[in-house]
Structure 1
Amino acid sequence: MIGFRKVRLVLRAVSSRVHSCPRYSSSWSPLGAAFNAKPARKLNFSFTNGNAGLFEISELADFYGFYALKERAISESSKLVAEATEPGRQRKMVEIFDELSDTLCRVADLAEFIRVAHPNLNFATAAEDASVNIAGLVEKLNTNRALYKSLRHVTEQGDMFPEDDVDRHVAKLFLFDFEQSGIHLEESKRKRVVELNEEILKVGSQFMEATQQPISIKKEALPEHLRYSFNLEGDNVIVTGMYSESHNEAVREAAYKIYLHHQPFQEERLLNLLTARHELAALCGFSSYAHRATSGTLADNPETVMQFLEGLVEEVRPAAVHDLDILEQYKAKHKSQASVLQPWDVPYYTAVAKHGRHKVDHSEFAKYFPLGACMEGLNELFRSLYNVTLEHEPVEGGEVWCDEVYKLAVLHEEEGVLGYIYCDFFERIGKPQQDCHFTIRGGRQTRDGTYQLPVVVLMLNLPEPSWSTPSLLSPGMVENLFHEMGHAMHSMLGRTKYQHVTGTRCSTDFAEVPSVLMEYFATDPRVLSSFAKHYKTCEPIPEDMVTSLCASKYMFNACETQLQVFYSVLDQRLHGIHPLETSLVDLVADTQNEFYSMKHVSQTVWPLRFAHLVGYGAKYYSYLMSRAVASRIWHECFADDPFSRANGELYRRTLLAHGGGKLPMTLIEDLLKKRPTTQDFVQSLVEDVNSR
């Protein structure tokens, strides 16, 4: 592919800014005060309509502007293709390709975000049209053999202009993306690749949609005393989920067995998806889809993935069994109907045990985590680590898609503005429910020598502030905020030559490292104590509350790690063996019984509810590997001092600054001054498990 990448599943006090004064402590910095109230708009004293356009793109003062952006991208792309394929070019091939990629991404990424985020149907529709048209253009470019041959010649023979290692690495990434469309194959096989990609998109969409569908069964299938715990429609009982928080064990059991029950039509979709993926991988020269998915990643191949997962599960098994024994004891204390712990009990008694042992009451903790305090904490952390501050800027009219969006400038004391973060933090009807980070514009060196500043959006679902109370965050929300800000700062602190590898545009198992690392900061007592304070009195959070909260973070870590290993191994097996050597039900049962200490429940097929099989096919292990890398970085660089400027600068210079511009393992080796082994990563997670 040319480099069109879908959007990623990433305070200046101004006197004209006007807002009402809330009835809680005013002892906040300008940043904290801004985030403790709903955003207010800059007053417009001009005689113009004051519409700067979305993201200050003047064409987007109106939704018709998407048509102008689309046409301009098509025109500019045509010129760049001509430049790349004509013999008299005056610059490196990789520079032309990256400008072509940037031209497409600046419209496609923006349009894809507005399509899902803008509440105005006209804007959403126009954005969708632009997104579809750019995707169509990309497909057309992916069949341009002259363009492909020009790039392949450079990667094989070298460019006529001097290249460095980054140039060669990025050119190879472009070539790899290009060949995923099958352009290097004979025509019949290339057409089949196109058909398979379309099939994968269609079946994957159908599968994902079905993962969220409720299950309807006849009333008679349930005992009468259980029916009314679920939704009722006529003669049917509707089960919408796992009901993991229910105090009634029989309800949890019924929900588990019904919701995860084998569904032949959904199994057929999954098997069709796996078959199409395997054929696609084979056509492109890979022995399995897992080999295709892991190529160029931190793991690099499925054999390394399995070595990591198998080593990890053996190390954590004793501790996982111990965790489950503790949960079983809690179940016995509650005089349950059955004393033996079951899979549907684990989430429920995990919550019970955490509350019982550490008295973790999220409503009490939330009083010490007003959004403004959390933003102040992030600001001080970034100032300490990177000499960077977050400055709130008032937005112009029409600049944002919703009135409740904040804008932050990321300012380095010596380098100036590094980029912009738009914060869409509060719940609203119709808003996507998943916390996520979107790249709107990637950073890159431009032809005139200036730097194209990155622009990203962080989307969370926090409770709205009221006139008297700021948005109060649960500990989990605080962790999510830090996680997503890790993605944003990966983009902000990067200074890549090419936007194709800016920030989070790197392999999945490496892209999550900076965000997961931020979770370690979010659960460190020294960091929490530096900013957590009561929203009314500004009293710092009591030490015993911090101790309890941080201790609860690692409770049952072994059991959770083992569960994630099971998910990851099953993902690898589904994408590595074709056709499956056994039935799907038996494969799930065998894998669960081998890698997880809770035995499989007959006729339940958990993967049929696992939407990640679509978006993270053969890459679900990335969560564990990213956490292993982040753990290694934390213990070697920040565990002794989470505010270390020296290590913060080292981390930025050797890792964050490069995005995907170098191989992931090379970046980690540069930071840690040694090349970690798979066993090193296993031991990093084992250290976390043993730190309970």
Structure 2
Amino acid sequence: MPTESPIVLPVSANELQSVLAQVEAILTQAADAVVAVPASERTIESTLFKLQEAQSKAAALQTVCTFPSLVHLDKSVRDASNEAKKALQQAWSRLHSRRDVYDVLKALDNGSTTYDPATARLLEATLKLFERNGSGLTAEKQQRLMELRAEIGRLELEFQKGLNEDTSEVLLTRAELEGCMDSWIDGLGTTTSTAPDGSSTVLYKVTMKTPDILNVTKNASLPSTRKRISVSYRQVCGRGNGEIIEQLIKRRYDAAQLLGYPNHAAYQLDINMAKNVETVKAFLDNILGSIKGKLESDKQVLLALKKKEYETRGWANEFDGRLYTWDVKYYQEMLFREQYAVDHTALQVYFPLDYVREQILGVYSKIFGLRFQQIPGKYWADDVMLFAVYDQHAQNEAETSGHPVDPEKFKIGHFYMDLHPRAGKYAHQCVVPLRPSFVESEEHHQVLPIAVNVGNLSRGTASNPAMLKHAEVRTFFHEFGHVCHALSNKCRFSIFNFSWSAVPYPTKLAMDFLEVPSIMLENWLWEPEVLKRLSKHYKTGEVLPDDIIQALVRTRKVSAGLNFTQQIAMTAIDQKLHTLNPYEDKRSVPEIWKEMYEDIVGISGEEGEGVNQVAQWYHFAMGGYDACYYVYAWSEMHAHDLYTRFKAPAGSSEPSRALDSKLGREYWEKILVPGATIDALELLKDFLGREPTPDAFQRYLTEP
């Protein structure tokens, strides 16, 4: 039976190279064509629009070159993809460094008010790209900038490759894994250690991938086990990626200086909602001031639990009155169990992955008016799934006319799900836009967008299905919000689509708005009605009981002061490393991390040979989050504001509007569909019906 797959990954490095050559040729030929237009015939249509359409076609093709680095089963293709991404980054950089093309487009920017708002926005965004690639610099400085950009791209990909290809593991006995779920332990790889006397011991292989790290840090009752895993994780790629980080900081600083910015953070923030470093600093200081009391209270609660456990287990002599990073998640889980009757590990039985996935699609279908149809087939890995997405709301409206309707006319895109870890695969959670939406003028049709949800959720075992913790369900729900954002766009040009730098083509979507829609949707995972819908005991079929739901909802703010402070500490470190002068500040990255983290959070971190906390931090090294880690807290602020329209008023008997299809559709149309065709602030104002405020976020931070 034939199958439909809108994206077919290359089977060899040679095939990948062929597509790379096509993409490079499209960009070069488009730039040459713009310059070749006679001066008297240079119009927006003959230059800017033609260039943008060519970039959209190149963006649609580039997936074959770049995406395999994250997921391909063949290491040779992954390696070739990493090299291809370097080449594409340079190709896009070369395009936007073309001074002759810039001069043609700049001449169109004559201050005329005759351009419609969409055209004016496109021209402004395009000129900004050229200027950020040095087209306004001297030829000598621009050449140096291009060299730096190439070096930065190479370093970022080397960082990613190091983590993706890492196979580090720690061997532990079952006794050392005391407290962890048997079903998880049974799913680990094993080896056997033979003692001199001939006796053998089974050793379990704990990888440095997210599911294993979380299982140990949350559940392993022996401090020595948690510490060993925590330190080992911080040593992953510590030397190689540590050196890359030091070089990245310098090269980013150098590039920013060439462009006239004081530092890399200033360069990054210039095109974001926040605009400057000072705004971000004030924002972070305000949060820290608001939650200072909660931070200290949260730490004392966890410390009391630690002291009690040490006394109960006969370890009183080892209690030193301090919290360590490997204590936090473990004692938070203990707090949930003992004071809130919530055992996150035990709750997994109510969240079997297959059922959760089906229900998440159902919730999004209801609130946004969509329909998801799975397309059976074999894709780049056996467990990858493909879905077509239809605008059911629009189809329903069309059907009211009484005329026959072709459902295919309401297809809005496709998405894949690649949810489980495997060797060589990207080791975190993300959504990658595989193809942007744009108008193909020659064929007169809208090219539909494609996205993929790349996850690292635990697999099932021979005896049990894959099951998720509530936090994993929340992450899954969040990431699917990005999928919907990517598929909602119907833009004429790719530059206005949802995107992030897993793909090299540029877009105008502000980095500090990118996370807002999905973080807002995380609120659904604290709504009793939604929790009931998503839960189903994998054996009995029972939904999550009401009393457990109520207890789970009460845990939302447990340790919120500590959790937010940890996030803000990482944000402050990110800002510090991207604002300092790396040639004057001689401290190492681990030294700066230790000093700032312990000063802000007041918890001791990992130490030892090869420990480097930034060496595993994708956000710092790549993905466009460099100097932009603040976007998560910033997005929380706007997300809480947006959610005021869905949340039942305080003290009201009115039900939540979380599953209100009319309001959900309004959110789809006003927040998601426009993409970057409208400034993020205007999108917020349109949906809220007022200016955005931090009031709801402040209440969340400070109220019990």
CA 1:378–1:587: 2 relative to 1, 3 Å: closer
Query: In structure 1, how many angstroms separate the alpha carbons of the residues matched to 2:85 and 2:264?
Result: 27
Render the CA deviation track for 1:52-105: whole Å, top value 9, x for unaligned.
Answer: 6x5266x96987654554444345445433442213357534422321221221
Match of residue 179 from structure 2: none
Render the CA deviation track for 1:188-241: whole Å, top value 9, x for unaligned.
Answer: 21121122223334455566778898999xxxxxxxxxxxxxx99xxxxx9998
Aligned counterpart for 1:660 among listed residues 660, 676, 679: 676
Aligned counterpart for 2:446 among listed residues 439, 447, 451: 451
Deviation at 1:186, TM superposition (A): 1.0
Match of residue 166 from structure 1: 118
Match of residue 391 from structure 2: 412
Confirm or deny that 1:348 pairs with 2:330.
yes
CA 1:147–1:587: 2 relative to 1, 3 Å: same
Match of residue 247 from structure 1: 221
Range with bigger deviation, 501-510 or 436-445: 501-510
**Which amino acid is 2:537 matched to?**
H
Query: In structure 1, how many angstroms separate the alpha carbons of the residues matched to 2:383 and 2:449?
Result: 22
Match of residue 3 from structure 1: none
Query: In structure 1, how many angstroms separate the alpha carbons of the residues matched to 2:261 and 2:79?
Result: 38
CA 1:671–1:145: 2 relative to 1, 3 Å: same
Confirm or deny that 1:148 pairs with 2:133.
no
Higher relative contact order (CA 8 A, sep 6+): 1
Query: In structure 1, how many angstroms separate the alpha carbons of the residues matched to 2:541 and 2:469?
Result: 17
Summarize the alignment of residues 200-219 of structure 1 with structure 2, pairs less than 5 Å apart: 200-204=152-156
Q: Secondary structure at the match of 2:426?
A: coil
Q: Secondary structure at the match of 1:544?
A: helix
CA 1:404–1:270: 2 relative to 1, 3 Å: closer
Aligned counterpart for 1:622 among listed residues 621, 631, 634: 631
Aligned counterpart for 1:492 among listed residues 487, 493, 503: 487
**Gaps in structure 2 of 5+ consecutive residues:** 170-191, 194-204, 396-409, 500-506, 649-655
**Gaps in structure 1 of 5+ consecutive residues:** 1-43, 45-49, 217-230, 233-237
**Which amino acid is 1:292 matched to?**
Y
**Which amino acid is 1:394 matched to?**
P
CA 1:91–1:177: 2 relative to 1, 3 Å: closer
Query: In structure 2, how many angstroms separate the alpha carbons of the residues matched to 1:496 and 1:392?
Result: 25
Confirm or deny that 1:108 pairs with 2:62.
yes
Aligned counterpart for 1:591 among listed residues 593, 596, 616: 596
Deviation at 1:600, TM superposition (A): 7.6
Render the CA deviation track for 1:567-616: whole Å, top value 9, x for unaligned.
Answer: 11122122123255574577546534553243689998744664432222
Deviation at 1:466, TM superposition (A): 7.2
**Which amino acid is 2:261 matched to?**
F
Query: In structure 2, how many angstroms separate the alpha carbons of the residues matched to 1:363 and 1:547?
Result: 17
CA 1:368–1:257: 2 relative to 1, 3 Å: closer
Deviation at 1:112, TM superposition (A): 1.1
Deviation at 1:441, TM superposition (A): 0.6
Question: Is the contact made by 1:563 and 1:596 (CA closer than 8 Å) also made in structure 2?
Answer: yes
Match of residue 375 from structure 1: 357
Match of residue 690 from structure 2: 674
Deviation at 1:458, TM superposition (A): 1.1
Query: In structure 2, how many angstroms separate the alpha carbons of the residues matched to 1:64 and 1:79?
Result: 23
CA 1:560–1:62: 2 relative to 1, 3 Å: closer
Q: Secondary structure at the match of 2:272?
A: coil
Query: In structure 2, how many angstroms separate the alpha carbons of the residues matched to 1:64 and 1:251?
Result: 46
Summarize the alignment of residues 530-545 of structure 1 with structure 2, pairs less than 5 Å apart: 530-545=533-548
**Which amino acid is 1:647 matched to?**
L
Question: Is the contact made by 1:479 and 1:523 (CA closer than 8 Å) also made in structure 2?
Answer: no
CA 1:599–1:315: 2 relative to 1, 3 Å: farther
Aligned counterpart for 1:577 among listed residues 562, 577, 580: 580
CA 1:264–1:642: 2 relative to 1, 3 Å: closer
Deviation at 1:552, TM superposition (A): 2.7
Match of residue 366 from structure 2: 384
Match of residue 34 from structure 2: 84
**Which amino acid is 1:596 matched to?**
V
Match of residue 436 from structure 1: 430
**Which amino acid is 2:276 matched to?**
N
Range with bigger deviation, 624-633 or 198-207: 198-207
Render the CA deviation track for 1:473-517: whole Å, top value 9, x for unaligned.
Answer: 222221121111010000122222321121245222211112222
Deviation at 1:326, TM superposition (A): 0.6
Query: In structure 1, how many angstroms separate the alpha carbons of the residues matched to 2:232 and 2:76?
Result: 41
Render the CA deviation track for 1:280-302: whole Å, top value 9, x for unaligned.
Answer: 11111212211101111121111
Query: In structure 1, how many angstroms separate the alpha carbons of the residues matched to 2:221 and 2:140?
Result: 59
The count of residues paired between Structure 1 and Structure 2 equals: 618
Q: Secondary structure at the match of 2:385?
A: strand
Query: In structure 2, how many angstroms separate the alpha carbons of the residues matched to 1:77 and 1:303?
Result: 37
Q: Secondary structure at the match of 1:658?
A: coil
Question: Is the contact made by 1:77 and 1:103 (CA closer than 8 Å) also made in structure 2?
Answer: no
Render the CA deviation track for 1:249-300: whole Å, top value 9, x for unaligned.
Answer: 4565677789869x89977654443232222111112122111011111211
CA 1:690–1:389: 2 relative to 1, 3 Å: farther
Normalized against structure 1, the TM-score is what?
0.79
**Which amino acid is 2:390 matched to?**
L
Question: Is the contact made by 2:288 and 2:565 (CA closer than 8 Å) also made in structure 1?
Answer: yes
CA 1:201–1:374: 2 relative to 1, 3 Å: same
Confirm or deny that 1:518 pairs with 2:521.
yes
Q: Secondary structure at the match of 2:483?
A: helix
Deviation at 1:323, TM superposition (A): 0.7
Render the CA deviation track for 1:439-474: whole Å, top value 9, x for unaligned.
Answer: 111112332553211111112233446798654322
Query: In structure 1, how many angstroms separate the alpha carbons of the residues matched to 2:60 and 2:429?
Result: 22
Aligned counterpart for 2:477 among listed residues 475, 482, 486: 482
Alignment RMSD (CA, Å): 3.9
Query: In structure 2, how many angstroms separate the alpha carbons of the residues matched to 1:425 and 1:253?
Result: 28
Summarize the alignment of residues 605-616 of structure 1 with structure 2, pairs less than 5 Å apart: 606-607=613-614, 610-615=617-622, 616=625
Render the CA deviation track for 1:285-338: whole Å, top value 9, x for unaligned.
Answer: 212211101111121111110110000000011011111111111012112422
**Which amino acid is 1:688 matched to?**
Y
CA 1:76–1:188: 2 relative to 1, 3 Å: closer
Deviation at 1:421, TM superposition (A): 0.9
Q: Secondary structure at the match of 2:491?
A: coil
Question: Is the contact made by 1:379 and 1:390 (CA closer than 8 Å) also made in structure 2?
Answer: yes
Deviation at 1:166, TM superposition (A): 2.7
CA 1:643–1:72: 2 relative to 1, 3 Å: same
Question: Is the contact made by 2:234 and 2:606 (CA closer than 8 Å) also made in structure 1?
Answer: no
Render the CA deviation track for 1:19-56: whole Å, top value 9, x for unaligned.
Answer: xxxxxxxxxxxxxxxxxxxxxxxxx2xxxxx586x526
Match of residue 338 from structure 1: 319
Question: Is the contact made by 2:66 and 2:82 (CA closer than 8 Å) also made in structure 1?
Answer: yes
Q: Secondary structure at the match of 1:461?
A: coil
CA 1:429–1:260: 2 relative to 1, 3 Å: closer
Range with bigger deviation, 436-445 or 113-122: 113-122
**Which amino acid is 1:318 matched to?**
G
Range with bigger deviation, 563-572 or 127-136: 127-136
Q: Secondary structure at the match of 1:290?
A: helix
